[in-house]
Each structure stands twice: as C-alpha cells, then as structure tokens.
Chains A and B, each alone.
Chain A
Amino acid sequence: MSSNPYHDKRCQWLMYLVFFAGVGLIPVFIDDAFLLNQFALYGVFGLLAVSISLCWGAGGILNLGQGLMFGLSAYGMAMTMQMQSQDPINNPIPPFMLNNGLDHLPWFWSLFSSTGGGIFLTLAVPTLFCLLFGGLMFSARVSGPFFAIISLALLSAVGTLVLDIQPYTNGANGISPPMPLQIFGAPLDPYSTSMFWVVFVCLCGLTVLAKLITQSKFGQIVHALKNDPERVRFLGYNVALYETLIYTLSGFIAAVAGCCFTLIVQYVSPAQFDVAFSITMVIWAGIGGRLSLLGSIIGALLIQGGQSYLGDSFLNSWMLILGLFFIVVVRFLPRGLAGLIESVLGRLRTPEPAAHEASAALTKSGS
C-alpha cells in the first residue's frame, strides 16, 4: 500500500511541477488572443475545482453553494471596474442606475470608488462571510447533507436577491464594465498574455498553498475529522474552528476565481449564482477525484473542455450526458479519475504489499 508511488509525496510534487510547467508553456506556443482568453477562463474553473476539492475532498464538507463566494466576488470586481470608468464629479453614477431611476450612488457602491479598496472588499466580503456563516453552522454541529442543503438554499436566496434589486445590480442584465481593469496605470486586457499570467499565478500559487496545507498537521487533523469529528473533539481540538477555517480558505479561493472571472469576461450576471453552476463544480471534483487537488483541476478542464467542443453538437442533451457520466463515475470510480490512477499504480506494485503483510503476520504470531 505504502509502496504505491501515488502516495509518495515527491512523486506528487513532481506531478504538480509537470502539470504547471505544461500549463505555463501555453503562451509560448499559442499567441491567439481568443484562445489565451479561453485558457485563462479554464484557469478560473481550475481554481473553483481546487476550492471544492479542499472543502469537500480534504475537509469532507460538501458545499453545493460555492457559487455564492464566486458570484459575490465577481460582482465586487465588476463594481470596481465599473467605478473606474465613472467620473467622481461629472458622472458619478453608472448609466444603468440612471435608467432604473436611481439619482444617487448607493453607499455600498461608493466603497468601490478606489481600485485598491474595491479589490480588497471583493476578496474580503466573501471570505468574512464564510468565516461568519461557517462559524455559525459548524459551532452548531451542522454537517453532511444538512450543510449541503443550507449552502444551496443560501446561494439560491442571494441569487434571487441580486436579480431582484435591479437598480443596484442591473438585475438579469448584469453589469458589463465598459473598460478592462486599470491597474498600476495600465489596462489589464482580458485577451492578453498578462491576463493569462495573472490567472496562472493565482492557480499555481493557491494550489500549492492548498497542497501544503493538506500536508501540514492542520491537514492531518482535518482529514481525521472527516473520518470522525467526535473523536477529534475528544483529542482536544476545536472541531468547529478547524471546519470553519477549511471552509473559509476554500471560499477565499472561490473568491479569487470570481475576481479573475470578471477580469476575463468583463461581464457579470446572476447566472454566476446559478445553482446548476455550483453543482457543476462539485461534478468536476467528483469526476476528477475530490481527494486530489490536481485531479479536480483536470476534472474541471475535461468537463468544461467537453462542454465547449461537444456541447455545441449536443446542445440540450449535454446536461444529460454530464449527469450520466457523473452517475457512472460515482458508481464505478468513487474516488474519480485520480482514484483510478491510484489503484492502477497500486496494482503495478502488488508483490510488495503481499510481502509486507506476510512479515506483519510473522511478527504478530511472534508477539
């Protein structure tokens, strides 16, 4: 069992190196602006997959409402970008507000007038929300399907609210800032190599951070509490605090994804709060292998890639195909594609575990 290279930390880091080196080479070979923009968008999906894998795979917290953190930060970034194109004196109010009969800038919009403050709020609001909501839920020992359902309901409620308060959010039309984000005096063009690198650095950095955390003592404790939270409590750990932190960390990664999303597509709408999208994230991790961060990223790339290239020819039946695929994976590969690789690598090394068990049996009879 332990001789399986899948469990070898050096092999795991080597795979990360290979993967990210491969992804990092994309701009060297591709200079098509549209494709680079697409790849950057795929990086956003990768980030969301990492966030689900951390929460569900490592922490055992099934979160069907990750779109909430993603959507909140996507809106935050859109507000920041929109405010950049407003003139504080001559033209302080975004046009859609005027169309909706609003004659003053709402207070929470004015907080996004400065770019730095806007980006800070964009990341801080979803993260703080996770901290509060998670703290409330986990200290009441809400877990498993109950937590999943509450997270789903909350997402749905916020999505409806955003749709409903049209003067403030432009309702179903969403917000489409007229210009890319101006940062350090220059625009961050969504079709540029720099945009790709921004997403790449976020994805690579946060995946490595998540990987390190799962390998730390914290990660071990979180893994243990996925097995048996009660036992962990009796060992002296504050289980609710650990659960809240892993959930918050996962929410923060989703928030970073939301920021990047708006930078790339320059548009945000209530579709980002769509329940189906949040469930799709869970399916990425389920198919790729929720226990593996890299597996989940690859799951996201495969499914979204499949949707882009096959979805066009199947159109309405795509969700059906995806659902069927998910059922097959859950039934036959409960640990996803990463689990398949794990068992294949394990089977290549059958002689060693057998020898190990034999020696264990010997020592046992000797004792």
Chain B
Amino acid sequence: MAGVLEIRDLHKRFDTHHVINGFSLDVAEQTLSCLVGPNGAGKTTLMDLITGRLKPTSGSVRFHGDELTGLSENDIARRGLGRKFQIPAVFKDLSVRDNLTVAYSRHVNPFINMIRFSDPAMNRRLEEVCTLVGLHNRLRVEAGLLSHGETQWLEIGMVLMQEPRLLLLDEPIAGMTEGEIEKTAHLLRKIRRTATLIVVEHDMGFVREIADVVTVMHMGTLLAQGRIDEIEANPKVRDVYLGTEEESA
C-alpha cells in the first residue's frame, strides 16, 4: 500500500511541556483511520502540526513523499489536505452556498478571482457535494442559522469542495443526534471510496462503525495501532483509555 502520510519522530514542545513526543505514523491510501486518545493526548496538536498551524520542534511530516513541515497553512491546503475543525468553523454571515463556493479553492490567484463571476466546474462540484452532504434545500440559508448537525455537514462539505486527497476531521459528530450520527457514518464511508480520511473521535461506538485502522495516542506518543478488535483487546489501551471510559459509562 502506498503511504499517503508519513509522520516520523515528531516532537512539539511548548516551553517545558512536551505535547508531541516522538510520534510516528503511516497512513495508507483510501483508508479511514481513527485517531483516539484521552483528553490532552495531543490529537488536536498533531492536526495543527500536520496542517501547518504549528511548526514542530523536530521531526518530519511527508505527504505523498513531499515534506510539509515549514510550509504555510495555505500551501499545505493547496497540496490536497482538507481540515475540519473541532469547533465548527463556517462563515456565519455567508449563505450555505457562498460557504461552499468560497471553499472551492482550485483557483487561488486573487487577480483572476477579481474577474471570476461564474465557474461551471465549481457548480458541478457544488452539485456533487450537496448531494453527498444533503444540504440541497438549505443553500440559501445563512450558515449561522443552521442546526449543529447541519453546521458539521456544511464544514465537511467545505472540505470536500477543496477536492482534497486527505481529509482531517476533528470530532465530526460532536453534538449530533443518533440519526445525524448514522447519516454522518454513511457519508464518511462514501468519501472513503475516493479519498483518505483521518478522523479524531471520542465516541468508540462511532469508531467501531467507521474505522479501518485505529490509532491510539497517549501522552504525545503512539500507543497502539490496528483494527478495532485488536485495539479493544490491547491491555495497554484498555488501561489508559477504554478502561476509564467503561468506568464512566
């Protein structure tokens, strides 16, 4: 299997606090990996390091063989990495349609965009994405007026408009109802047919439903990686993560 993303010995230190401590990971093409771990394990920091929001203290992140560390956020996004944030980040006073059209970032040249008023390729993509995330009859609504679940879908839709090769989704089902979670699982499986996904998730039920590979993070390192049944049987994992969840449940 071809490696889409290769992370090697990644470190991130904030003063004395070692948030990512020698983390390595390989992600294979067209898989859906779930990244799990207790709070403070460094999952969101890892996302920040991959997408360029933070610069690693040391280590390397390669995407299709190209080094990403040191590139700006927009350059990394241009290479085909789309990111959905933990707290949904949509443009609240733009309509759903405008949110999606802005996200279609195949053309980033500002001078050409000044004279671009319509784009047939973009409209086709908009049509596809709308069908996928199911926001067809909400296109004219201001994004700030959407329900929580719809906002999550809109942001997934925005990431899809970028036509990314790798999607990083940070807690895509946070705050969703059962029905919405079911729909999201279905959506992610559909996306997986054409792209690679990394999903940060807390809900183990959801992880069990969607994950090809589960990666467990703990204290900024890779604790375990494998199929969900292997992970659930792993005593180390039970100790740091699943154990505590069972207790609280």
Contact = CB atoms under 8 A, between A and B. Distances in A.
Given A227-B94, A363-B137, A367-B183, A236 B78 contact: yes
A364 B116 CA distance: 34
A45 B147 CA distance: 43
Contacts of B108: 236-238
B102 A235 contact: yes
Given A235-B105, A236-B78, A238-B108, A216 B115 contact: yes
A2 B140 contact: yes
Contacts of A227: 91-94
A173 interface: no
B92 A216 contact: no
Contacts of B147: 364
Nearest to A291: B93
Interface stretch (A161-169, A200-208, A217-225): A217-225
B173 to A, nearest CB: 16
A297 B158 CA distance: 35
Contact of B140 (A1, A220, A363): A1
A227 B142 CA distance: 13
Interface in A227-243: 227-228, 230-239, 241-242
B103 interface: yes
B102 A360 contact: no
B74 A233 contact: yes
Interface string A232-261: 111111110110010000000000000000
Given A218-B113, A235-B162, A360-B141, A367 B134 contact: yes
B183 A230 contact: no
Interface in B102-154: 102-103, 105, 107-108, 110, 113-117, 119, 134, 137-138, 140-142, 147
B89 A220 contact: no
A224 B91 contact: yes
A350 interface: no
A213 interface: yes
A236 B77 contact: yes
Interface string B69-90: 0001110011000110100011
B74 A224 contact: no
A296 B83 CA distance: 37
Contacts of B110: 218, 221, 238, 241-242, 245
Contacts of A235: 74, 77, 102-103, 105, 158, 162
A215 interface: yes
Contacts of A363: 137
Nearest to B83: A234
Given A218-B110, A218-B116, A223 B94 contact: yes
B101 interface: yes
Interface residues of A, number: 31
Contacts of B51: 234
Nearest to A209: B114
A211 to B, nearest CB: 12
B113 A236 contact: no
A218 B110 CA distance: 6
A251 B78 CA distance: 30
Nearest to B78: A236
Contacts of B232: none
B137 A218 contact: no
Contacts of A360: 137-138, 141
A215 B101 CA distance: 13
B98 interface: yes
A217 B74 contact: no
B237 to A, nearest CB: 31
B91 A228 contact: yes
Given A1-B142, A245-B110, A367-B183, A236 B162 contact: yes
A359 interface: yes
Contact of B116 (A217, A242, A359, A367): A217
Contact of A234 (B77, B138, B141, B179): B77
A216 B113 contact: yes
Contacts of B134: 367
Contact of A237 (B85, B94, B101, B105): B105
B77 A233 contact: yes
Given A224-B94, A227-B93, A228-B91, A236 B137 contact: no
Nearest to B114: A218
B101 A220 contact: yes
A194 to B, nearest CB: 31
Nearest to A243: B110
Given A228-B89, A233-B72, A359-B137, 7 more contacts: A217-B113, A221-B102, A223-B102, A234-B51, A236-B77, A237-B105, A367-B179
- Ranked 4 nearest A-B pairs via Cβ: A236-B77, A236-B105, A218-B113, A227-B91
27 contacts: A1-B140, A1-B141, A216-B116, A217-B107, A218-B113, A220-B98, A220-B101, A224-B94, A224-B102, A230-B89, A231-B89, A232-B102, A233-B77, A234-B73, A234-B74, A234-B83, A235-B103, A235-B105, A235-B162, A236-B77, A236-B108, A237-B74, A237-B105, A241-B110, A360-B137, A360-B141, A367-B183
